[in-house]
Every structure is written in structure tokens, then in C-alpha cells.
Amino acid sequence: MSDPVNSTILLLDIEKYSARDDVEQSYLRRMLFGLTDRVLLAAGIEETLRRRADRGDSVMELIDANASLTALLRSLLTVVPAELYALNRLASSSARMRLRCVVASGYVAVDQDGGWVGSDLNHACRLLDADVLRNELKQSLGDFSLCVSEPVYRGVVRHNHLGVVAEEFHAVTVESKNGALPARLHRPYARAEPSGPTAEPGAAVRPAPASPEATVPQGATVNGGVFGGANHGIGGGIFHGDVRVGGTPGDRA
């Protein structure tokens, strides 16, 4: 077995693959492999920087850790939805391809038979099979759902690099036989709530401040009430004299 090498782990899986017949499965596999190649090329990841494993209804890619993870995420978030739309818009229901995707990172070794070995890879596979990701795709109006591991979120996503919006990735926990696995689920139309204070339902809206230059002449009245002396207006303006507030026009002096 080779020494473990740090890699980016990319997993893509076709929804409801086993429900299709042989002809449909063969078609979907070709579409998946072609789509994966185009996504990686769009991210600037050449074939020399990746290794592929065919898992029937899914594809696994080990990508050199020196390849840009940010570019990969940008490509997944833009190229995959566009490609799936183009593939599916005229396809029958049996030929429609919907994908679950996981991006993780960690150390993976290759054994003498070409198999991949590593606990980080096992964790990525558990994220791919997790109910939370499956349900996200089922409920989605689109054809693609993405989950990233917590190390990928901390190392790249949370920094809000161009095209990768951190607040669109929501914290989830996947239960596994090895314990809870934290991860981040991409929900582009359900951004996280702002961390600052928010207004209570039904709270009054503060009116816009008056212009700082606005002043009220001495002796001016507002609805009949009276303010005396120097007064500081909203927004910093200062006025002098009496200001009437309330009452009727007949009460004004």
C-alpha cells in the first residue's frame, strides 16, 4: 500500500440510479463521466492532477491538494447546475440526471489492488449517503445538492472567496457508526440569518432623520403645542423660540 497522501476528495452520485434499466444506466454513466471531466477542466484541474474510481452510480475523484479547492467549488456551484439543466430540459423522466455531491479533504492511500483506503475517505462517503443530503435533493427544485466537510468549510468556504458565499452553507450533523460528523450543506436560497439584533414582529419603524440643516424659526408652531428655548432637532438641527404642538388653529397666538 502507498503512503497516505493529502488530497481533495470529490464524490458525485446519481439519484435513483438503481431504478433505471441497463440502457438508461449506461446513458447516465456516460453523462456523469463527461460532466465530471468538464467541471474539473473548468476548475483548471488537468487529468495529471486527479485519479478516478468508478463506483457504478457514482464517481470518486482524488485531486492533488495543490489544485485550487476554491476554483473547484466555484465550478461545482456554476457549471454543474448549468450542465444538468441543459441535459435534463428535453430529457424524459427516465433519462433525467440529478446529483448529490460531497467535497472533502484528507489523507488517502492506494493499496496494491488500486483500492483507496483512509478514514477521511470513509467520512466523505458517509456524508454522500446521509439522509440529510438525500432529502435536500428530494426537496430541491433543482437537480444538484452539495455538501462540504467541516475542514473544507473552515479552510476555504468561510473566507467568502469570489463565487463561494459562506452564508449559503448551513451547518448539519450526520450521525454515523463512528460518531457525529459535522458538515455544511449548500442552500443558495436560504441564507443564514444575520448575527446582529433584529426587530421584533410589529415593532415600530424609526422614521428617517430630518436634514441637519433644517431649522424652525422663532415663534413657529406645530399643531399648537409649545416648546420654549433652544431645541435640538432630529438629525442635529437647532432651533430657538417657541414651537407649538397639538391643539387647534384657533388656539395659536
Rg of the chain over all Cα atoms, to the nearest angstrom: 30
The pLDDT tens digits of the residues spanning 58-78 come to 899 999 999 999 999 999 999
Phi and psi torsions of 173, nearest 5°: -125, 125
Question: What per-residue confidence (pLDDT) applies to 210?
Answer: 47
Q: What is the pLDDT of residue 191?
A: 53
**Residue written as grid cell 489544485:** 67
Contact 61, 36 (CB under 8 A): yes
Helices (H), the chain: 22-42, 69-88, 119-129, 131-139, 150-155
- Neighbour tally for 9: CB within 10 Å: 25
Contact 84, 76 (CB under 8 A): no
Domain ranges of the chain: 5-186, 212-248
What's the confidence (pLDDT) of residue 129?
94
Which H or E run contains 23? helix 22-42
Comparing CA positions, the residue from 106, 104, 105, 111 lying closest to residue 3 is 111
Q: Given this model, what pLDDT does residue 114 score?
A: 79
Cα 247 to Cα 82: distance, rounded to the nearest angstrom: 66
Q: What is the pLDDT of residue 220?
A: 46
pLDDT at 101: 98
Determine how many CB atoms are found less than 10 A away from the CB of residue 19. Answer: 9
Single pTM value for the model: 0.73
Residue 181 and residue 148 in contact, taking contact as beta carbons nearer than 8 Å: no
User: Measured on CA atoms in the order 212, 215, 221, 227, is the torsion positive or negative?
Assistant: positive
The pLDDT tens digits along the chain (253 residues) read 788 889 999 999 999 999 999 999 999 999 999 999 999 999 999 999 999 988 778 899 999 999 999 999 999 999 999 999 999 998 888 899 999 999 999 999 988 777 888 899 999 999 999 999 999 999 998 999 999 999 999 999 999 999 999 999 999 999 887 789 999 999 986 554 444 444 343 344 344 444 444 444 454 444 444 445 554 444 455 545 554 444 444 444 4
Element (H, E) at 154: helix 150-155
Number of neighbours of residue 61 by Cβ within 10 angstroms: 22
Which residue is associated with the grid cell 454543474? Answer: 80
Query: Under CATH, which number does the domain 5-186 receive?
Result: 3.30.70.1230
The pLDDT value recorded for residue 46 is 94
Distance CA 56, CA 71 (A): 26
Which 8-state DSSP code applies to residue 148? E
Q: How many residues does the chain have?
A: 253
Provide the pLDDT for residue 175: 86
123 near 181, Cβ under 8 Å?
yes
- Per DSSP, the three-state class of 177 is coil
Given a contact cutoff of 8 angstroms between Cβ atoms, the answer to whether 145 and 101 are in contact is yes
Instruction: Give the tens place of pLDDT for each residue, 78-100.
Output: 999 999 999 999 888 889 999 99
